[in-house]
Amino acid sequence: MPSAVVVALVLLAGLSEAAGRILPLVARRPRVSPPVVAGLLLTGTAVESAVITLWPLTAYTLAELLPYASASGTAPGWTAGQVAPMLLGAVIAFPLLGPALHLMLLTGVGAGLVGPVAAAGGVGGWTAAACVAAAGVGLAAAVEAVRRLVGRIGTPRTRRRTA
């Protein structure tokens, strides 16, 4: 069971991630109403917090599925020190520097997960690193696919006029 500090940090990191994705959208469309922005932030925070929470568990599960793994039985979780850097996730709001800084940040956080996943999964460091990377990329791809689908569904289509 994670501590209250870890839960609060995960929620704040999720809010930071959501703000980093939503604020550029709002900046391009200034007519978006505050309740819509608040709803997007709340939903985004829930989704991003869930992804952050699932990252170590997914990496451990991938490691556990390997035929030579000798799992210890308990999946690693977040510690306050591991999740705290993710509060900086809103740097993706900066158009030019954001994606590179965000990738560096996630790489650093992922590197912090390698040791616990290797120990809990009974695999080597490089294998654990591959599991952490695969879990991160897989979760990010799933969220991005859902985000694009929701964006496509939520965008009104314009009819083409034929002359």
Instruction: Give the CA dihedral 59, 123, 64, 62, nearest 10 degrees.
Output: 30
User: 82-111 pLDDT, tens per residue?
Assistant: 888 887 766 655 555 667 777 888 899 999
Residue 76 belongs to some domain of the structure: yes
Q: What is the pTM of this model?
A: 0.83
**Nearest in space to 29 (alpha carbons), one of 154, 160, 161, 159:** 154
Domain count for the chain: 1
DSSP three-state, residue 78: coil
Residue 159 belongs to some domain of the structure: no
Residue 49 belongs to some domain of the structure: yes
Residue 72 belongs to some domain of the structure: yes
Residue 161 belongs to some domain of the structure: no
Section 44-55 average pLDDT: 92
Residue 85 belongs to some domain of the structure: yes
User: 114-158 pLDDT, tens per residue?
Assistant: 999 999 988 999 999 999 999 999 998 998 888 888 777 766 666
Residue 162 belongs to some domain of the structure: no
Q: Which domain holds residue 121?
A: 4-154
